[in-house]
Structure 1
Amino acid sequence: MIRKTIRFGLTSLFLLMSSLLVAAAPDQIDVAIEQARLIDARPLDGRVFHVQGLALDSRRIWVTSVDGDNRKAYLHAFDRRTGKLLRRLELTDGARYHPGGISISGNSIWVPVAELKPDSSAILVEIDTNSLAVRRKIHVPDHLGCVAASGDTLVAGNWDSKLLYRIDLGKTLRMRALPNPSATRYQDMKFVGGQLVAGGALSLWSGTVDWIDWPSMKVVRSLRAGAIGPVRPWGRGGPYTGEGMAIEGRELYVLPEDGPSRLFHFRLEATPHS
């Protein structure tokens, strides 16, 4: 009886504190994602850990997650029609076990795998989407948490995406740092129609999806996103855009929850214009 009373008291305290945190949030918004309508939320049938990145092709849903307890980095492939897990690939590289936001270009999927601390190191791993064979690894002397890929161009964000690195793949690898044009801590980004589309968190309670003109790096459209469920550390919540994000035309997909995860599908009201 005493144990039940203690558990009830702790649960009530956590719920109260969570409610107070949400109520006190100065930037909380009431909509899931501005100018977007929720179409569905599909459960993923297979174990993932702390979700980090999301990418889609015609047949598969690609997810990265980090198993923090065992310091392991994973890339998961799910069937896009059924949501069932197809394959899982471990990408741990010594002290580097934190995968980030991912991007598909052609038959390659790019995954950053970094040490779990700022100002550290990372590898950018290029993986064949059919065989899951590793094609190459690029070592970078900084933490990288997301990457967008288009042909021979990569854009990768470091810790909280304070800097965005432009990486030109060619006979001679070239890399230069660019300032993040937004206050959003980008977690996932993609090249879409000649622009960068990037999503991430502003706080525990809100985030954004930004359309960034390339290569001028000017934000031309920004949609605010609210939180899903109770905020961490007591719930599975946080901003809808706080983890994985993918986009296909007006179809926006986010994966904001740790496992068991749901793929949220939104339809944007209108296509962005620069």
Structure 2
Amino acid sequence: MFGKTMLTGMGAAFVALSSLSGTAVPFSSVIEEAQFMGTTKLGGELYHVQGLVVQPTRIWATSVDNAGRRAWLHEFDRASGKALRRIELTDGARYHPGGISAADGLIWVPVAEMRAASSAVLLGIDAATLEVRRRIAVADHIGCLAVAGGRLVGGNWDSRLLYEIDLESGQTVRIVPNPSDTHFQDMKFDGRHLVAGGNRDWISGTVDWIDWPSGKIVRSLKAGAIGTVRPFGRGGPLTGEGMAIEGRDLYLLPEDGPSRLFHYRLES
């Protein structure tokens, strides 16, 4: 864990934080209405990070090996960041594992073709055994997934559309336009709200709270970026990839491997 430097709101745009190699790297740590609490190094081999789940003793992340066209789900110890297990999820032409969520002992991962208007399979993976317990096919690219109350909600390419899927039948209940201009990369249910994070461009993004099922945005926080942004480096918008939320605690995984888990505390 890095130091506990606190930054509030949009007031301070840049701080210096030691990178994994020990070199000082400036980054825009700003999350509107939030305090920066520190980072945790994640071990093992991560490629281009896609999704994040934070549990009491575990951290789960997905990453895509673009060069090898392979999809991965990774498990880490939450206290130490040590890599524990990983499983390959590549499914033929489908090798893009998106934003993920967890419920009832399953980690839900969408694995899609790397193109818009294509196809995806939604996998329910047993967190204890890493066996695939459920498979739901969707005739579109699904890049992020939230689960709660017998429903899955998935965003397609750039999350322009949100799919609501009945968990028992696997059937799509409805498809609605994204009420935000943000390209959601990861999303979670927090009570009746769908909390979704993503990028607007290479250097900024938002975290949005969406009332569900009405689809009305009730809160939106602006976010900055970390390090040299893609495609030139391994950083990018803080909300551009993995995101998880526990009450007022917001966790982000904005870097390709080697990665750090960024912890923020919302002011309210």
Q: 1:239 aligns with which of 205, 227, 237?
A: 237
Following superposition of structure 1 onto structure 2, how do residues 1-274 of structure 1 map, counting pairs within 5 Å?
32-171=30-169, 173-270=171-268
Matches of 1:39 and 1:170, distance apart in 2: 39
Instruction: Kindly indicate whether the alpha-carbon contact (under 8 Å) linking 1:105 and 1:151 is maintained by their aligned counterparts in 2.
Output: no
Secondary structure of 1:47's aligned partner? coil
Deviation at 1:31, TM superposition (A): 5.4
Instruction: Kindly indicate whether the alpha-carbon contact (under 8 Å) linking 1:62 and 1:76 is maintained by their aligned counterparts in 2.
Output: yes
Matches of 1:182 and 1:236, distance apart in 2: 26
In the alignment, residue 45 of structure 2 is paired with which amino acid? Answer: R
User: How many residues of Structure 1 are paired with residues of Structure 2 in the alignment?
Assistant: 242
Matches of 1:31 and 1:123, distance apart in 2: 35
In the alignment, residue 62 of structure 1 is paired with which amino acid? Answer: W
Q: Where does structure 1 differ by over 6 angstroms across 4 or more consecutive aligned residues?
A: none
Matches of 2:193 and 2:170, distance apart in 1: 25
Matches of 1:160 and 1:125, distance apart in 2: 20
Q: CA 1:177/1:76 → structure 2, altered by over 3 Å: closer, same or farther? A: same
Aligned residue for 1:4? none
Matches of 2:176 and 2:78, distance apart in 1: 35
Task: Give the alignment's Cα RMSD to 1 decimal.
Answer: 1.3
Greater per-residue strand proportion: 2
Deviation at 1:227, TM superposition (A): 1.2
In the alignment, residue 266 of structure 2 is paired with which amino acid? Answer: L
In the alignment, residue 84 of structure 2 is paired with which amino acid? Answer: L
In the alignment, residue 209 of structure 1 is paired with which amino acid? Answer: V
Q: Which has the larger radius of gyration?
A: 1
CA deviations over 1:33-85 (Å, ceiling 9, x no partner) = 10111111111011100000000111110000000111100000000011001
Deviation at 1:232, TM superposition (A): 1.9
Report the TM-score, using the length of structure 1 for normalisation. 0.86
Instruction: Kindly indicate whether the alpha-carbon contact (under 8 Å) linking 1:52 and 1:244 is maintained by their aligned counterparts in 2.
Output: yes
Secondary structure of 1:233's aligned partner? coil
In the alignment, residue 180 of structure 1 is paired with which amino acid? Answer: N
Instruction: Kindly indicate whether the alpha-carbon contact (under 8 Å) linking 2:29 and 2:36 is maintained by their aligned counterparts in 1.
Output: no
Greater per-residue helix proportion: 1
Aligned residue for 1:20? none
Secondary structure of 1:160's aligned partner? helix
Worse-superposed segment, 36-45 or 166-175: 166-175
| Identity level (%) | 63
In the alignment, residue 80 of structure 1 is paired with which amino acid? Answer: R
CA deviations over 1:116-173 (Å, ceiling 9, x no partner) = 0000000000011111110011111100100000131000000000000000122473
Report the TM-score, using the length of structure 2 for normalisation. 0.88
Deviation at 1:258, TM superposition (A): 0.1
5+ unaligned residues in a row in structure 2: which ranges?
1-27
